[in-house]
Chains A and B, each alone.
Chain A
Amino acid sequence: MLSDAMAALHIVLSFLPFSFLRYYPFLNKLRISIKRLCGIYLALLLLQIVSFIWLYNRDFLDLQLMQRYRIVFGFLHITLSFIVIKEKFFKHFFVYLIMFTYAVIVSRNAYIVEELLSLYFAHTSPFLIMNVVILLQLLLSYPFVFRFIKIKFTPLLETKNTDVWNYIWIIPMMIIVLVAIVDFELSRKAAFDWKYYISRFLMSLGNFLSCFILIKILEQTNQNATLNENIRMTSKLIVAQTNHYKMLTEYINKAKAAKHDLHHHILVLQSYLQDKEFLKLEEYLNKYQVRLEKSVQPVICNNYVVDAILQHYLASTKTLMIQFTVKVDMLVQIAMDDFDLCIILGNAIENAIEACQRMQGMDRFIELNIKMVGNMLVITIDNSYDGIVKVTDTSLLSSKRTGDKEGVGLDSIESVVNKYHGILDLAYTEDIFKTSIMLNLTNS
């Protein structure tokens, strides 16, 4: 009875911890609910335990049957995880391979220790020693591996714009094949052979090294993506600022000219007045009024940066025949990095413009509202679109950009929203796409 319990514990110990790590990075990408997954998984584990105990309590240990048992359940575990997790194949294949290696190392070590010690503890259950060794190893390594997976690895899984996943799995795969070949020939003698230890050590080292390199690559890719995005935004900003600067210079020149003209106008008015030609006087005044109104381009917003950006897009939408209405109600000074605000406005407006360009028909519009509510900045952008929304695995994309750039704009909006602990909400009807953004600013 005790040995049965030990056998059961052995199965649990050599599967459950590793399966948990296997599923952990993908918990939000499951095809079924977590509860259901747990149910299915536990059922599988139970089945495994029962058949393991049954196999072990037979009159003689059929090694061939044991091998088959391992293959069948290993296969079931793989199939379950690949069916349940919704992610690019090679991505979770890599995670699977790494976890597989981890599990194999732990259980092989336990096996070897048991082999070594069985001479001295011949009477104890064979699984007792193994379980103790596995537990010890897990206690020593599991916290670190878990932390590593949680903090370093999981965030990097989101990295886009890289095809490193398609190749990186080859390294652990090769090593696992090697291990499998060696382990098949594993005999009792191997436990006393130093060559075996060294080759095993090197193989596991190789596996973890591949993991390490992968993380370095992904970090670099991420950094590059942010830098590229920054460069793109900065160049946009420079264009906007230059235009704004030009506009201001124009104003100044116009004002100078107007001041000069004023002198002339006064002279004309005076002469009309002297001659008592009131009709002509009125006519002249009306003409002057019209001219004055034409020459003044209204300021949209007193926040210089926002105004520059909005003027820029106002001009470009005019040429694209998109009706762009803007309503800004915000303080001149807000507790927010100008650059962040530009990222949000620039990307959101650009997405809206792109959506408008994709659609046929003339009723293309963008409606932008910016408003301070308490210490929160609320930005809403409603635009017309062609009615086609692409929903990908992870996020809803407003646009159907092709190639690698897909969704970059929305991603950078999202990262700024997260920075300010805000909320990003996308909603759509048949012909209007609504983007709503709320940012928590600290008291300014």
Chain B
Amino acid sequence: MKIAVCDDSEYDKYCLFNCLNGYCKDSFINAVITAYGSGESLLEDFKENMFDMIFLDIYMSGIDGIETAKKIRAIDAQCLLIFVTTSRDHALDGFAVKALHYLLKPVSSENLAEVFHRCKNLLAGNEKCIEVISERLPVKIQMKSIDFIEVYDKACFIHVGLNIIKTYLSLEEIYSQLDQKFFLRCHRSYVVNMCSIVNVGDRDFILKSGNLIPIRQSEKGVIKKTYMNFVCSLARDDHHAV
């Protein structure tokens, strides 16, 4: 696991680093921890998929933690952000950048345990993959990255961000591999990742990418209800959120 710590106070940085190091050793987590002294230095280095977790101090000279987080999010939507702060007042800004958690200083290993517990659920989802055969080669696709799958002319097209993977497996076969908690069979020839949906129209789901996924009209009520239950479970309990 790749972890970054970013704090402008030498002392706090040292404390958090030590605490993290200790916790990871105790709980047999194989971690590489990198420490940064400012938001600028972190951003200079930062690339997509560089870290799994980033601990950010909110109050920093130069650009503050929130701003840094926004810039990190613009590059990498996946990595987990944890804010570290001295007071609760500002913690709420974190929601705008999808922060996982905020920690109050001084950080204890109990607090870290809670964070890692939540992370475990999320990171476990990262590793779930499906395997399909495309262009006669087996391809592994991270389940979370799939936006939707459509059937067109006997082939299935798996949409992963901007990439489209074509396979001759049937939609049923692919759907049975997928986690039904997140994937919804909303139409005879469509399966959609409910995490990618940003709006629900009368006849279709609208995705982040702008794609419209039709809803089978004869089962509109059931499908919308399923989706409604999914988003409400996200709101009621954040633990398995993405």
Which A residues are within 8 Å of any B CB, using their own CB?
A: 296, 298-302, 327-332, 367, 369-371, 373-376, 378-380, 382, 421, 423, 425, 436, 438, 440, 443
B contact residues, range? 20 to 34
Give the residues from 78 to 126 in chain B that come closer than 8 angstroms, CB to CB, to chain A: 87-89, 92-93, 95-96
Nearest chain A CB to B22 CB, angstrom units: 25
The contact sample of 24 A-B pairs, CB cut-off 8 A, is A296-B87, A296-B89, A298-B89, A299-B88, A299-B89, A329-B235, A367-B236, A369-B236, A370-B235, A373-B197, A373-B198, A373-B231, A373-B235, A374-B198, A374-B208, A376-B198, A376-B199, A379-B235, A382-B236, A421-B200, A423-B224, A423-B228, A425-B225, A436-B228
Given A296-B88, A380-B232, A423:B95 Cβ within 8 A = no
Give CA–CA (A371, B231) in the complex, Å: 9
Nearest chain B CB to A391 CB, angstrom units: 18
Q: Are A371 and B235 in contact (CB under 8 A)?
A: yes
Residues of A within 8 A of B225 (CB): 425
Q: Are A374 and B235 in contact (CB under 8 A)?
A: no
Nearest chain B CB to A297 CB, angstrom units: 10
Q: Are B234 and A328 in contact (CB under 8 A)?
A: no
Say yes or no for B201: interface residue by CB 8 A criterion: yes
Give the residues from 14 to 37 in chain B that come closer than 8 angstroms, CB to CB, to chain A: none
Residues of A within 8 A of B96 (CB): 331-332
Nearest chain B CB to A381 CB, angstrom units: 10
Q: Are A331 and B95 in contact (CB under 8 A)?
A: yes
Residues of A within 8 A of B236 (CB): 367, 369, 380, 382
Nearest chain B CB to A303 CB, angstrom units: 9
Nearest chain A CB to B40 CB, angstrom units: 25
Residues of A within 8 A of B87 (CB): 296
Given contacts A423-B228, A443-B198, 19 further A-B contacts (CB under 8 A): A300-B92, A301-B92, A302-B93, A328-B95, A329-B238, A331-B96, A332-B93, A370-B235, A371-B231, A373-B231, A373-B235, A374-B198, A380-B236, A421-B200, A421-B202, A425-B228, A425-B232, A436-B228, A436-B232
Give CA–CA (A421, B92) in the complex, Å: 28
Residues of A within 8 A of B235 (CB): 329, 369-371, 373, 378-380
Q: Are B95 and A376 in contact (CB under 8 A)?
A: no
Using CB atoms, name the residue of chain B closest to A423. B228
Give CA–CA (A380, B231) in the complex, Å: 10
Using CB atoms, name the residue of chain B closest to A330. B95
Closest 3 CB pairs of A and B: A374-B198, A371-B235, A369-B235
Give CA–CA (A96, B199) in the complex, Å: 43
Give CA–CA (A421, B205) in the complex, Å: 13
Q: Are A373 and B234 in contact (CB under 8 A)?
A: yes
Residues of A within 8 A of B200 (CB): 376, 421, 423, 438, 440
Which of B87, B92, B93, B197 is the most central at the interface, judged by chain A CB atoms within 10 Å of its CB?
B92
Q: Are B89 and A421 in contact (CB under 8 A)?
A: no
Residues of B within 8 A of A379 (CB): 235
Nearest chain A CB to B116 CB, angstrom units: 21
Give the residues from 143 to 201 in chain B that come closer than 8 angstroms, CB to CB, to chain A: 197-201
Nearest chain A CB to B141 CB, angstrom units: 22
Q: Are B232 and A440 in contact (CB under 8 A)?
A: no
Given A376-B198, A382-B236, A302:B92 Cβ within 8 A = yes
